[in-house]
Copies of this chain bind each other. A is one copy, B any other.
């Protein structure tokens, strides 16, 4: 696994702060109160272009200069944001070509954020200049410890249709394909007579009848958007690198669509940070489709983040109500959510935000302090969290223990946004694997696969579930085969191996390039008939075969683990296993229901990994972080009622240093962290 610099030498708590939103006379008190609460870092500046360049080419450095001086005085570290997510009004009014445009040709305008495009030469020029100006003036400041590039790249808007984007897409394609013949082939342009005979005919996907878009063009367009965002990020990173002090880090925050976050992190960033808002899973939907996991579902996203960067930070940790609406965090819940981040691998947690902004589009995006600035319950919880974080210092840098890993990759992530079949099975399986993992106390890691993934990134896990690799290429198959040969258990589901890297369906028998590993041959497949749900029998027990079903005709040497028990598929192979070297490949002919995942994990011998240490109800999340032979057990209670876990080993509570074993009660929304005796 790539070793990112561990930016966080100790458990660190920060907060997002907007000095420009408050009278200067409040700064000092605010910083003092932060420090008193245990906060040691503030993030500032990411929407403050005008304060530095109030008119084109005129730069002023007093504002953040003054603020940094005060921080030095108060011993407060600073992460500086580059302000490129919100160009000034003078900029967009003078250079409207920097604005983004919808697929239908509507230009996004000044008045919110993220209305610019990444490819306008003028915007890149103006961004480069302000970033350089900021770096020149502030990078050497002793209180500056890191830089955040832009803010939430691709958040909300991840399509770009300005003229600059059209030109850049064309250049991206020329670079990728060299010739129109190659592009026509990759895009299957012969279908519906789309063949291009001049580069000038090539565009991003513009409005077509019936949304009948070319899927290969769309796939390339997703990659292009990702490439554009990464180039934009890299441009800034390259500038910052020239000026940043040794040890200072470069990051950006958030995990949004059409963006290969793992590659961006590898290529441009020192460390990755995420914005965690667990109440998004709490929103009142008023119907039965309410999210089963509520706030707990954030552990799924945090697991994906950990896959990008093992020791990540949280740049924005929810500290109150957002616009949704959802109920305010209950007593304890704010700290629960912050501890959830730490359990999943964050060693830096920065709350969003110090005080709710009383104006602007986010005036209901609540901070720690309310509009009235008074001490309150949220501040008390933040203080308590800071105190706990100090006690958790031994955990800093510890690795999260995983029973298995789920494999993901950017190409399939794009495809699952574009291909409605892919979307359907992938969304289902991800949710259900998470459910099985959570309720079974068998945490997993996410491994982001790409051309640069080393074998060691896989062999760290006894079991890999690569749920639905619709798209796969020989290089990845080779890697997976090496993983299996050395003793791994690879599990793939329906539609595996369907497409090549251009998104064309393969013309060899399915599962295509994976056939050698699975030892199966698919000749029949269907969407599940909602009126006749599919099931299979595994050792006499019924399991669901949800969403999409394939008959897996086994080759010689392939063993059948489960057979369909319903509809026309009864008796046919539903789950198979094929040995190879010291390992094996399990092929599931459907999506992954939680009951099936449970069976698979048991079969692979990786369920209940902590059964010797702890016994916990489903309502409690159990996570283990390990470092230098020390084991730290996190117990998180997401319920409004107290929950009991039973420690089977002797353990020391990190919060209070008490040594204990046996029954331990977690209060409502309570957490505990134990160091397990060896």
Contact = CB atoms under 8 A, between A and B. Distances in A.
Contacts of A475: none
Nearest to A506: B371
A330 B568 contact: yes
Given A86-B192, A372-B509, A525-B328, A111 B358 contact: no
A227 to B, nearest CB: 20
Contacts of A188: 357-360
A88 interface: yes
Contact of A195 (B50, B505, B506, B524): B50
Given A47-B192, A112-B214, A505-B358, A207 B157 contact: no
A83 interface: yes
Contacts of A216: 359-360
B20 A190 contact: yes
Interface string A493-521: 00000000011111111100000000000
Interface in A643-670: none
A171 interface: no
Contacts of A373: 507
Interface in A130-187: 155-157, 187
Contacts of A114: 209-210
Contacts of A567: 330
A30 to B, nearest CB: 13
A86 B193 contact: yes
Interface stretch (A361-369, A426-434, A457-465, A593-601): A361-369
A602 interface: no
Interface stretch (A36-44, A389-397, A526-534, A536-544): A526-534
Nearest to A88: B193
Interface stretch (A236-244, A319-327, A626-634): A319-327
Given A86-B192, A505-B371, A530-B286, A360 B50 contact: no
A231 interface: no
A112 B213 contact: yes
A203 interface: yes
Nearest to A530: B284
A27 to B, nearest CB: 15
B109 A208 contact: yes
Nearest to A187: B359
Interface string A560-587: 0000000110000000000000000000
B115 A209 contact: yes
Contacts of A87: 193
A475 to B, nearest CB: 21
Q: Counting chain B CB atoms within 10 Å of each CB, which of A284, A359, A364, A509 scores highest? A: A359
A215 interface: yes
Nearest to A361: B212
Interface string A389-424: 000000000000000000000000000000011001
A206 B109 CA distance: 6
B505 A356 contact: yes
B358 A506 contact: yes
Contact of A89 (B47, B197, B357): B197
Given A93-B200, A371-B506, A190 B21 contact: yes
A89 B199 CA distance: 10
Interface stretch (A100-108, A302-310, A446-454, A480-488): A100-108
Contacts of A530: 284, 286
A514 to B, nearest CB: 14
A49 interface: yes
A323 B286 CA distance: 30
Interface string A333-368: 000000000000000000000001111111110000
A210 B156 contact: yes
Interface string A74-93: 00000000010011111001
Contacts of A372: 507-510
A527 B192 contact: no
A93 B198 contact: yes
Contact of A104 (B106, B421, B524): B106
Given A90-B201, A326-B527, A210 B509 contact: no
A112 to B, nearest CB: 4
A197 B112 contact: no
A503 B210 CA distance: 30
A89 B196 contact: yes
Given A93-B200, A112-B214, A361 B207 contact: no
A208 to B, nearest CB: 4
Nearest to A525: B328
A213 B89 CA distance: 15
B421 A364 contact: yes
A55 interface: yes
A259 B107 CA distance: 28
A528 B321 CA distance: 12
B217 A111 contact: yes
A208 B20 contact: no
B213 A111 contact: yes
A105 B357 CA distance: 32
Q: Counting chain B CB atoms within 10 Å of each CB, which of A194, A364, A376 scores highest? A: A194
Contacts of A607: none
Contacts of A100: 209
B358 A113 contact: no
18 contacts: A86-B194, A87-B193, A89-B197, A108-B209, A111-B194, A111-B208, A112-B213, A113-B209, A156-B209, A157-B209, A191-B359, A284-B529, A321-B526, A323-B420, A325-B420, A325-B527, A330-B567, A359-B502
* Closest A-B pairs by Cβ, 10 of them: A188-B359, A191-B360, A112-B212, A112-B208, A328-B526, A86-B193, A156-B210, A358-B505, A109-B206, A89-B201
Given A106-B207, A215-B359, A327-B529, 5 more contacts: A90-B201, A115-B209, A325-B424, A356-B505, A374-B509
